[in-house]
Chains A and B, each alone.
Chain A
Amino acid sequence: MGLLSDPSISTQSKLVDGLARHVRKVCYALYVAGVAWFFCLALPEFNHGTYLSENALSPGLVYPEIRIDANRLAIQLLEELQRERKDHLSTTPHAWIAAKMNEFGLETHTHNYTLRYPFGGGKEYHGKNIYGILRAPRIASTEGIVFAAPYRAASSVHTDISASVPLLLAFADFARRKNYWAKDLIFLVTEQEQLGMQAWLEAYHDGDRDLDLSKAYLRPGNLPARAGSLQAALNIEVQDLEIDHVDVRIEGLNGKLPNLDMFNLVQRIMAREGIASGYKQAPRKKRRHSQSHFEQNLRQMLTMLASQSSGVPTGNHGLFHRYRIDALTIAANRRATHATLKGSPGSAAVPLLKAIEGIARSLNNLLERFHQSFFFYVIVNNDRYISIGDYMPALVALVACAFLKAYLTWSTLPATNAELEKAADWLREHEQEAELEENLEPDKFELPYGSVLIYLTATLLIGFLCNVLPLQQYFLEIPMGAAPLTTSVLSFLSLIGFVLPFVVVLPPGGLELLHVAFLLIYGCALIVIGLLNFALGFFAAVLTVPLVIALETKEENSRSTLRNTIRLATLVMNPMMVVYVIVLAMTFYQFPELSVQKIMLRAATAAMDASAYGLIDSVIYGNWLYFVICTIFLPLWIICWTLSLSKRRDYADYLDFDESPSTSPQPQSKVKTN
């Protein structure tokens, strides 16, 4: 068992000494290995083909029965809806939808909710969802499946998806005539994008709970009827009845995904009906064939992780994941030209209807919730995936750098102090043997645990305030938009963090100890974030680990140019700067024609909006991104900044740092503006 316990007699081992000397090289090697592993995952040898794991689904076992009359009904409903939309430019034609549901024999209910928007003096918005329940003939309402279609008012800025509601209703009419349903079917029409869905889900699950009305921003109200525990949900967003391809959207809140079986099921059934469908499916014309397989796969992986990392759902399905309901969106895109039309226009939507029927019947077969297949995966291609066991090593290798460095820093750290102490003890015993008055002396060499702990707490407090302050009543009463308010609070707090190391200087040994603590907290934070949302954790690690490896608090054997580069890099790594840079890149990508100044300005306002949206998302939907950035990344950045400055109490160091104020004002103003 001498595995961990150091078997040599002296406590300082040669291996550790040797490693400590090359800590950066070892860490960079690990970093490169982690990133290389991730790239390798795009190779077909490293990922696996998808398969259906849940036998109960048995897709395509039944012959689709939905016929052209359902398509005719959908067309007729769409025409009626278009007429209604002329009268309801900015509202939902609730009456018409409810009347149709009633007509088809569904148990129809409406659901009212209120949003109390906290910023800018406070406003109230009201909304209304309509849902119809088709009670299962075979079972008491213990389980249900949701078919949802978002409704967008005619005045909406988003793409018109008004064909979804007629399609949903046509399918409801078909389903009503069948007697094989073993689960209640809920047909739900929501409004106001994700807000309506969030309110409905909250009302469905917690509607009978008493809310603290002063704190709740979204008051979901209660539902008049429910349909048991929801097993799965399918969100339908159809631009037109004549479709070109189907984009299957899976990313949910905080990067959660539906079970891989659900995705495979949809893929299988779409393929059977001859619909071009897939994850991030692009129109046929735009698909590039010049790229190699590897490049395509890598691109797919990266886009998936990018959309997961923000934690914002790509559709209404994403909100279901919070309640353990597997859900995805099938977004059918309009056919651009009519030249390639196959068959008559009167049967254009039949394949899609058949696909929905197939999915519904497979879900109807489920005996338990989805549990067989993966919940953590990255889709490489429409029929290939990477499971958690394969992609986690990439993150672990990156995080291992932090722990390795922490260990080596630690093992070189107390040795010096112990030596100091030993020397002091030796002196003491020789000079004044009997006297016991040196109670103060040994304290001098003890590591300053207390002050480091206080420093850590202070930085965490700043992070905590970022979460709490913008929502305080006295700030909310200021007649100020959400974006400027949030941004000013955030920049004020990060400014405090920026100034903190100049004001507070840790006692000797404190910086090294802070370094170790920083590395540990950083490693733990990345692991936990990576477990909850791999994409976010991985990107954060890829971005920050090189800097963390480069950080050094010792002043000997480091050149000043390197130090200043690290300092500059640390400044750029400020969470707010990173957000700004990301937004800047996106603005540049979207509006390449604008001048640089305009782009930077536009990006600044967009970044301000982004921080406000982040806050609103976190209070209404429970998105963690804002919380993570404020509570974890910002304090870590402050510590990182402290370490990169490495201000010491020694007088010599103050002289060394004369140059730092000349570099700092410039980034400081940047922090203020974004």
Chain B
Amino acid sequence: MDSKFFKLLLLGGAVRFYFCRTPLAPMIGNRVEFATPLNSHKRMQEGIFLLQSGIDPYQGDLVHESPLILSALSGLFQKYPNFLPIFYIILDICTAALLYAMSLRFVKQKQDQQDVERKQYAKDTEELQFGPLDKLDIPELVIVAYLFNPLTVMSCIGMTSTVISNLFLAFFFYCLVKGMLIPCLLVLAFETVRSFYPIVLIAPLLLVFSRNSVRRGVAIAVLFIVGCLIVAVANYFVLNSWNFLDGTLGFIFYFRDLQPNIGLFWYFFTEMFEHFRTMFLITFQLNATVLYLVPLSIKLRKEPPTASNVMVHGFVVFTFFLVTLSMMGALWHLWIYAGSANANFYFGATLAFSTGQIFLITDLLFAHVKREFCLFNGQKILIDGEEARIVLK
């Protein structure tokens, strides 16, 4: 925790605070790229209002926030609406601080591991090993990447509940790295009941804590299910009804709101014949949750939450994001306001954006695998006098 860290935090906060006060903030809050039915600030407000008026917010199809969050924030929303942006900024900064702490800890662990394994490494791999400077650099990179990422800044100033999710997830990773099982489980259970997809994080959790013993793994899984049930019951007592389950998890699973967003589902489901809907629903949801989980868990079982910084094609991915995001604005205008373009144009941009994300993830994974390989086998491998290539098959 040095002064640079605090300076960065302050700067990040200042950037968010500045943008909160410009007319950009309400505009971002309404942009589909940032505010989806799940996280939009407007819907949160609506939910809190309904909750305060004693109406079940989940009877309509508008509110998809979990009851605990609604009731926890209702005091703040009702009494100090002017301080809400600051509240969100503080949450975001907490997330950044947690990430910082997590990455400090993580790098330390990796260094310890490296010290153990050093003898097996090939000779010319010093630059791939963690140096003493990385201890400061990597956490700094992590925090800069979080604080000054335009997307997180926009989410924060648009006051989307993504900020809250990020905080919980950061806390989850922090606990995971620290090896604290119970808080980890609780946070994950809470997030799972809230927005379902974090359930995939059960895999790293199991891998970290079970330590290759099946019995422990089963015990943790049972604990997790119990945790989910506890959270669900706690949610139940807010309203004394189970409606919220359909309003949050059911909404996510059945994908009822086809409002376009930065993802791809909306387009598939608008184009689909209604009687195939169930089949595609299951296929897509499986695709989103299970399909990538299993192979990735197998491959990366040794170090589940990995943050590799040996990026090769970051530039291409960055350009992809830049172009697609700027195109999305233009195409949205043409589709919704000018009425000349149509959904296909916008979908093209979101498709390209997703492609960029896939590139980003494969790139990260590949960089990770490559680094591992090179550490043990050396940087320059010559096969028949030519430079060897790693081919993913």
Residues of A within 8 A of B (CB): 1-2, 4-11, 256-257, 321-322, 324, 369, 371, 375-376, 403, 406-407, 410-411, 422, 425, 429, 436, 442, 520, 523-524, 527-528, 531-532
Check if B272 is an interface residue, CB within 8 A of chain A: no
- Let me know if B387 and A9 touch, CB within 8 A: yes
Question: B391–A528 contact, CB under 8 A?
Answer: no
User: Which residues on the B side are within 8 Å of A407 (C-beta)?
Assistant: 315-316, 319
Contact check, A425 vs B312: say whether CB atoms are below 8 A apart: no
Shortest B326–chain A CB gap in Å is: 5
A520 touches which one: B126, B319, B327, B338 (CB < 8 A)? B319
B338–A5 touching, CB < 8 Å: no
Beta-carbon contact of B315 and A403 below 8 Å: no
Asked if A5 contacts B319 (CB within 8 A), the reply is: no
Q: Which residue of B lies closest to A322 (CB)?
A: B338
State A5–B276 Cα separation when bound (angstroms): 36
List B contacts of A10 (CB < 8 A).
Answer: 379-380, 387
Query: A324's contact among B133, B329, B339, B342, by CB below 8 Å, is which?
Result: B339
A11 lies within 8 A of B312 (CB): yes
- With A4-B313, A411-B315, A528-B330 known as contacts, the answer to whether A422 contacts B127 (CB < 8 A) is yes
User: Within 8 Å CB of A422, what residues of B?
Assistant: 127
Task: Indicate if B381 sits at the interface (CB-CB under 8 A).
Answer: yes
Bound together, the chains give a CA A256 to CA B392 distance in angstroms of 47
Q: A10-B380, A436-B132, A531-B331 are in contact. Are A5 and B313 (CB under 8 A)?
A: yes
Query: Which chain B residues border A436 with CB–CB below 8 Å?
Result: 132
* B residues in contact with A376, CB < 8 Å: 340-341
Q: A10-B387, A520-B319 are in contact. List 13 more A-B contacts (CB 8 A).
A: A4-B363, A5-B362, A5-B366, A5-B367, A7-B391, A9-B374, A10-B379, A257-B340, A324-B339, A407-B315, A410-B315, A520-B322, A528-B327
Across the interface, do A375 and B388 meet the contact criterion of CB distance under 8 Å?
A: no
A324-B127 contact in complex given A5-B362, A527-B327, A531-B327, C-beta closer than 8 Å: no
12 contacts between A and B (CB under 8 A): A1-B362, A1-B392, A4-B313, A5-B313, A9-B379, A10-B380, A322-B338, A324-B337, A375-B341, A403-B319, A406-B319, A527-B327
A2 to B365, CA, bound (A): 11
Give the residues in chain B near A324, CB-CB below 8 Å: 337-339
Q: When each residue 327-371 of chain B gets 1 if its CB lies under 8 Å from chain A and 0 otherwise, what string results? A: 101110110011111100000000000000001001100110010
Can you name the residue of chain B whose Cβ is closest to the Cβ of A411?
B315
B323 touches A527 (CB 8 A): yes
Neighbouring A residues of B327 by C-beta, 8 Å: 527-528, 531
Contact B340 A527 (CB under 8 A): no
Binding site for A on B (CB under 8 A): 126-127, 131-133, 312-313, 315-316, 319, 322-323, 326-327, 329-331, 333-334, 337-342, 359, 362-363, 366-367, 370, 374, 379-381, 387-392
State whether A5 touches B363 (Cβ < 8 A): yes
Q: Does the CB pair B316–A7 fall under 8 Å?
A: no
Contact A524 B322 (CB under 8 A): yes
Q: Tell me the complex Cα distance, A315–B165, Å.
A: 52
Closest to A414 in B: B315
- In contact, A4 and B379 (Cβ under 8 angstroms): no
Please report the C-alpha to C-alpha distance between residue A406 and residue B323 in the assembled complex, in whole angstroms: 13
Q: How far is the CA of A10 from the CA of B323 in the complex (A)?
A: 28
Nearest 9 Cβ contacts at the A-B interface: A375-B340, A324-B339, A5-B366, A531-B330, A528-B330, A524-B326, A7-B389, A2-B392, A410-B315
Q: Are B313 and A6 in contact (CB under 8 A)?
A: yes
State whether B326 touches A8 (Cβ < 8 A): no
Whether B387 and A532, one on each chain, are in contact in the complex, defined by CB atoms closer than 8 angstroms, is no
A532 to chain B, nearest CB (A): 6
Contact A256 B363 (CB under 8 A): no
* Complex contact B334–A531 (CB within 8 A): yes
Chain B residues near A11 (CB-CB < 8 A) = 312
- Contacting pair B340 A4 (CB below 8 A): no
- The CA-CA distance from A9 to B330 in the complex, in Å, is 40
CB-CB under 8 A from B319, the residues of chain A are 403, 406-407, 520
Tell me, rounded to whole Å, the shortest Cβ–Cβ distance linking A359 to chain B.
21
Q: Chain A contacts of B312 at CB under 8 A?
A: 5-6, 11
* Interface of chain B: mostly helix, strand, loop or mixed: helix
Whether B326 and A528, one on each chain, are in contact in the complex, defined by CB atoms closer than 8 angstroms, is yes
Nearest-neighbour CB distance to chain A for B124, whole angstroms, equals 11
| The one of B315, B340, B362 that contacts A256, using a Cβ cutoff of 8 Å | B340
In the assembled complex, the Cα of A520 lies from the Cα of B319 at a distance in Å of: 7
Which chain A residues lie closer than 8 Å to B342 at the CB level?
A: 371
Q: In the assembly, what is the distance between CA of A444 and CA of B271, in Å?
A: 54
Q: Complex: how many Å from CA A4 to CA B359? A: 7
Count chain B CB atoms within 10 A of each CB in A5, A256, A429, A523 and give the residue with the most.
Answer: A5
Bound complex: CA A6 to CA B363 (Å): 9
B19 smallest CB distance to A (angstroms): 13
Cα-based distance from A257 to B339 in the complex (angstroms): 11
Contacting pair B387 A8 (CB below 8 A): yes
Enumerate chain A residues within 8 angstroms of B392, measured Cβ to Cβ. Answer: 1-2, 5, 7
**What residue in chain B is nearest A8 (Cβ atoms)?**
B389
CB-based nearest A residue for B390: A7
Q: Could you tell me the distance between the alpha carbons of A4 and B389 in the complex, rounded to whole angstroms?
A: 14
A523 and B323 contact, CB distance less than 8 A:
yes
With CB as the reference atom, state the residue of chain B lying closest to A325. Answer: B339
- Of A9, A10, A256, A407, the most chain B CB neighbours within 10 A belong to A9
Determine whether the beta carbon of B339 is less than 8 Å from that of A369.
yes
B contact residues around A2 at 8 Å (CB): 366, 390-392
- List the A side residues contacting B391 at CB < 8 Å: 2, 7
A4 and B370 in contact (CB under 8 A), knowing A256-B338, A321-B338? no
Query: In the complex, how many angstroms separate the beta carbon of A374 from the nearest chain B beta carbon?
Result: 9
Q: Which residue of A lies closest to B131 (CB)?
A: A425
Question: A646 to chain B: closest CB distance in Å?
Answer: 22
**Distance A257 CA – B370 CA, assembled complex (angstroms):** 52
CB contacts (< 8 Å) of A257 on chain B: these are 340
Tell me, rounded to whole Å, the shortest Cβ–Cβ distance linking B342 to chain A. 8
Residues of B within 8 A of A523 (CB): 323
- Closest chain-A Cβ to B304's Cβ sits at a distance in Å of 21
Q: A257: nearest residue on chain B (CB-CB)?
A: B340
CA distance A186 to B374 in the complex (A): 76
Does B339 contact A528, Cβ atoms closer than 8 Å?
no
Could you say which residues of chain A place their CB within 8 Å of the CB of B338?
256, 321-322, 324
| Other-chain contact of A9, B313, B323, B370 (Cβ < 8 Å) | B370
Tell me the nearest residue of chain B to A375, going by C-beta. Answer: B340
CA distance A524 to B333 in the complex (A): 16
Tell me, in angstroms, the Cα distance from A422 to B133 when the chains sit together. 13
Please report the C-alpha to C-alpha distance between residue A523 and residue B391 in the assembled complex, in whole angstroms.
Answer: 33
Given A5-B366, A256-B340, A422-B127, residue A528 in contact with residue B329 (CB < 8 A): yes
Cβ-closest chain A residue relative to B317: A4
CB of B32 to closest CB in A, whole Å: 17
With A4-B362, A436-B132 already in contact, the answer to whether A9 and B316 are too (CB < 8 A) is no
Instruction: Please judge, given known A-B contacts A4-B362, A256-B338, whether A532 and B330 are in contact too, CB under 8 Å.
Output: yes
Least Cβ distance of B129 to chain A in Å? 12
A532 touching B389, Cβ below 8 Å: no
Closest to A516 in B: B315
CB distance from A403 to the nearest CB of B (A): 6
Q: How far is the CB of B340 from chain A (nearest CB, A)?
A: 3
The closest CB in chain A to the CB of B381 belongs to: A9
Q: Which of B313, B338, B380 has most A Cβ within 10 Å? A: B338
Which residues from A are CB-within-8-Å of B331? 531
Q: Chain A residues near B315 (CB, 8 Å)? A: 407, 410-411
Complex Cα gap A256–B363 (Å): 40
**Which residues of B are found within 8 Å of A4, using beta-carbon distances?**
313, 316, 359, 362-363
Contacts of A410 in B (CB 8 A): 315
Closest A-chain residue to B363, C-beta based? Answer: A5
Q: Complex formed: what's the CA distance from A406 to B320 in Å?
A: 13
User: Inside 8 A of A520's CB, which chain B residues have their CB?
Assistant: 319, 322
B339 x A9 contact (CB < 8 A): no
CA distance A321 to B338 in the complex (A): 7
Q: Complex: how many Å from CA A531 to CA B326? A: 11
Chain B residue at minimal CB-CB distance from A406: B319
Query: For A7, what are the chain B residues with a Cβ–Cβ distance below 8 Å?
Result: 389-392
